Amino acid sequence: METFRQTRRSHTRYDRGARNISGCGLAGMMSLSGERTDGRLIREAIGLLHDRSNGLGGGFAGYGIYPEWPDHFALHMMYYSLEAQEDAEKALRHNCEVAREEKIPTRPIPTIVDPPLLWRYFVRPKGDLLVERQAPSEDDFILDLVMTINRSVEGAYVFSSGKNMGTFKGVGFAEDIGEFYRVEEYQAHIWVAHGRFPTNTPGWWAGAHPFTLLDWSVVHNGEISSYGINKRYLEQFGYCCSMRTDTEVMAYLLDLLVRRHKLPVPIACRVLAAPFWRDIQQMEEPERRLHKTLRQVYAGALVNGPFAIVFAHKEGMVGLNDRIKLRPLVAARKDDLLLLASEEAAIRTMCPNPDVVWAPRGGEPVIGTLGSMEVEGEPKRRLEEASA
C-alpha cells in the first residue's frame, strides 16, 4: 500500500509512467422530464465502482447547473502557470464578451494533490468578430477558440465549454474528485460520471473523463484502436486532438456527426458502432442501402476496439457499446429516470427499485430524450406492461 501512495505522490503533470490494465467505471442518470437533482447520488454510484479505477482520473458532468447563465458558454479552464492564465485570458477577452469570471469552488481533500489553477468564465462571442470571420454559428466560433487555446497556449486547457452545463474532473478517485469539486452543491437534470483506470494514455488532470466539446460530454470504458484513423479524419474538419487520450475523438465525432452534419443521434450511433458488412448484406432494403452508405461516407468515423460509452448533450443521454459488446454496460428505468452504469449495483445505488434493468446489446444504443417518456432501446416487454 505504501508503494501505491508513493506512486500517487510522484505523479507528474502528464503521468507518463502510469500504465495499468483496463478497468474504468461509468455511470449516468437522467430525468426525462427535466427535474434537477444534486450530485450526491451520482457521486455515491461512481464511488461504488471504486475498484474499477485506480485513482488516476475521475470526473462528472452536469446539465442544467447554470440556469442563471442559459445563453452564455461556461468555459472551465485548467492552468499550470500564471503565465498560461494570462495568455489564455488575453485570447478570451479578444474574442469574447466575458460576463463573469471566478475560481471554480473546491474544498481541500487529502487525496487530491497538486491540482492546477481552476477557473470558469461565462462568455459570448463578440458580434463583430462573428461577422468578420463569417463563423456559421456561435458554437463554431467557440469550437475554434477552444481548439486554439488547447493547441497554442502552453499549460492552459479548456476542459468544458457548453451552455448551462459543466464538467468537473481531475486526477484522483471519482468520489474524491466529486467531494473536491463540491458536486453536491449543483443541481442537474443529467449527470454522468467516470472513474478511470488508464491503460495506453497518461493519467493527468485534463486527460480525465468526461471529455467534452460544447455541450457534448463522453465517459468511456475501453480502448479505441481506430484512434489514429479517427484523429486524421477529424483534423480534416478543423478539430485538434490535444488531450493525449483516445476518448477525446468520441466527443469531437459526436459534434461533427450530430451538430454539424445534422445526423439524428440513432444514425450517429450507427456510424460509431456500425454493423458488420456481413450483417448489412442480410438486411432488407432500404435499411441495407442506408447502412452501406453510412459505412462508405463515414468510414473514418467508425470506432473500432472494445468500448462502452455514456454520452450526454443538451437534449438527452445515450449509452452505447461496441458492436460485439466487449465492455459492460447496464441500463435501467424508473418512472422518468433513465439510469446507465458499468454494473447494476451502481444503478441500485441511484435507484434501489428500478422498474426494469437490462443489458443493451452490442451496437444497440439506449437513447433518452428530454421531454419524452419513451426510451429507445428499452425492452419491449417493459413497454407493453406500461401500456397495459
Least confident of 19-28, 97-106, 165-174, 194-203: 19-28
Tell me the pLDDT tens digit for each residue of 187-235.
Answer: 999 999 999 987 767 788 998 999 999 999 999 998 899 999 999 999 9
Residue 276's domain comprises 2-387
Tell me the pLDDT tens digit for each residue of 353-365.
Answer: 999 999 999 999 9
The enclosing H or E element of 63 equals strand 58-63
CB 76 within 8 A of CB 206: no
CA distance 265 to 312: 11
Average pLDDT over the chain, rounded to an integer:
91
Tell me the pLDDT tens digit for each residue of 159-184.
Answer: 999 999 999 999 999 999 999 999 99
Share of the chain above pLDDT 90, in %: 84
| Structural domain total, the chain | 1
Q: What is the pLDDT of residue 381?
A: 57
| Strands of 165-170's sheet in order across | 165-170, 58-63, 190-195, 25-31, 337-341, 330-334, 356-358
What CATH number did the domain enclosing 99 receive? 3.60.20.10
Q: Which of 24, 96, 269, 351 is catalytic?
A: 24
Residue 270 reports pLDDT greater than 60? yes
Q: What is the pLDDT of residue 106?
A: 98
CA distance 113 to 109: 8
Which pLDDT band holds residue 382 (cuts at 50, 70, 90)? low
Residue with cell 441500485: 348
CA distance 147 to 119: 18
Residue 269 among the catalytic residues: no
Dihedrals phi, psi of 71, to nearest 5 degrees: -105, 5
